[in-house]
Amino acid sequence: MSVISKLREKPWLAHPAGMDPALQTTAQRWPQRTALLFMLAISTVLFFLFTITFLGRTQLPDFQALAGEPWQPLTRPGLLWLNTLWLLLSSVAMQLALWQSKRLRQKVSPWLALATLLLLLFLAGQWQLWQQLLAQGYALRTNPANSYFYLFTAVHGLHLLAGLLALAKVWWQRRAPVQFSRSLQLCTTYWHFLFVVWLLLFALLTSSADTYNTLAALCGF
């Protein structure tokens, strides 16, 4: 039943005895999944709002994009591509772990260990990039573009760390295979979500000033 038809129900009308459709069905319940969907919505809003303020901020005169011209640090972001690869592989490893667990095989843990390792590689890579930027004089406060770069990567990194915590908790409960597989499915969704968010952030943070101007114009700034 769609939402619209649910909202059009006339609850004051009596159903004939035993005919009440609501009494017949016991829908499959999966509260963790509902909660995850809301969490993804909240995270989306969070990143969306940061992005909107970022686009607004790009239009103010003191903003200097981090990419575009040859001398800017993120014009050829080799390290970022490498990090992206780690995160992609981490997502893939999670997916493989999920397939393994769905077939009730016991080879889940190695894949999860691999996914965790790749995720940590990504975070270490981001940390290294921070150090490089700092060494080149791109400190947090010297330009709003830098501030946003650190802010975005930090918020995204914290999301990943929270994911690792959740994964640890799920792994702890791996003795119940069906439950384990379902929980793992939610973790995998979260991993993929954060990978997509990262791709968008990557594109956003390494764009040139012209791209920002176009995007900002589209948003009405």
Partner 1 sequence: MSHIAVTDQPDESKHPHSFITRYIWSQDHKVIAIQYGITAIFVGLIALLLSALMRLQLGFPDTFSFIDPSAYLQFVTMHGMIMVIYLLTALLLGGFGNYLIPLMIGARDMVFPYLNMLSYWTYLLSVIVLLASFFVVGGPTGAGWTLYPPQAILPGTPGADGGIVLMLVSLAIFIVAFTMGGLNYVTTILQARTRGMTLMRMPLTIWGIFIATILGLLAFPALLVSAIMMLLDKVAGTSFFMPALLSLGEQLDYSGGSPILFQHLFWFFGHPEVYIVALPAFGMVSDVLATHARKNIFGYRMMVWAIVAIGGLSFVVWAHHMYVSGMNPYFGFFFATTTLIIAVPTALKVYNWVLTLWRGNIHLTTPMLFAIGFIFTFVHGGLTGLFLGNVVVDLPLSDTYFVVAHFHMVMGVSPIMVLFAAIYHWFPKVTGRFLHEGWGKFHFWATFLGTYAVYLPMHYLGFLGVPRRYFAMGGSDFIPESAQSLNAGITVSAIIVGVVQLIFIANLIWSLRKGKPAGSNPWQATTLEWQTEHTPPGHGNWGKTVPVVYRWAYDYSVPGVKADFIPQNVPNEQLQYTDEQLYRESQQ
Number of residues interacting with partner 1: please give it, by CB under 8 A: 43
Binding mask 125-164 for partner 1 (x = CB under 8 A): ---------------xx--x--x---x-------------
Rounded to 5°, angle at Cα 69 from 68 and 75: 55
Q: Verify binding: residue 19, partner 1, rule CB under 8 A.
A: no
Alpha helices in the chain (DSSP H): 3-7, 21-24, 31-58, 78-102, 108-135, 144-172, 177-205, 209-219
Q: Verify binding: residue 17, partner 1, rule CB under 8 A.
A: yes
Q: What is the DSSP letter of 208?
A: -
Q: Verify binding: residue 22, partner 1, rule CB under 8 A.
A: yes
- Asked if 156 contacts 197 with a C-beta cutoff of 8 angstroms, the reply is yes
Q: What is the DSSP letter of 174?
A: T
Residue 41 or 203 having the CB closest to partner 1: 41
Least gap, CB of 4 to partner 1 (angstroms) = 11
Binding mask 51-90 for partner 1 (x = CB under 8 A): --x--xx--xxxx---------------------------
State the CB neighbour count (10 A cutoff) for residue 207. Answer: 19
Residue 39 or 114 having the CB closest to partner 1: 39
Cα dist. 14→2, 17, 22 in Å? Answer: 21, 9, 12
Residue 84 or 143 having the CB closest to partner 1: 143
Q: Verify binding: residue 106, partner 1, rule CB under 8 A.
A: no
Q: Which of 161, 153, 158, 170 has its CA nearest to residue 116?
A: 161
Residues engaged in binding partner 1 (CB under 8 A): 6-12, 14, 17, 20, 22-23, 26, 29-32, 34-35, 38-39, 41-42, 45-46, 49-50, 53, 56-57, 60-63, 140-141, 144, 147, 151, 176, 178-179, 182
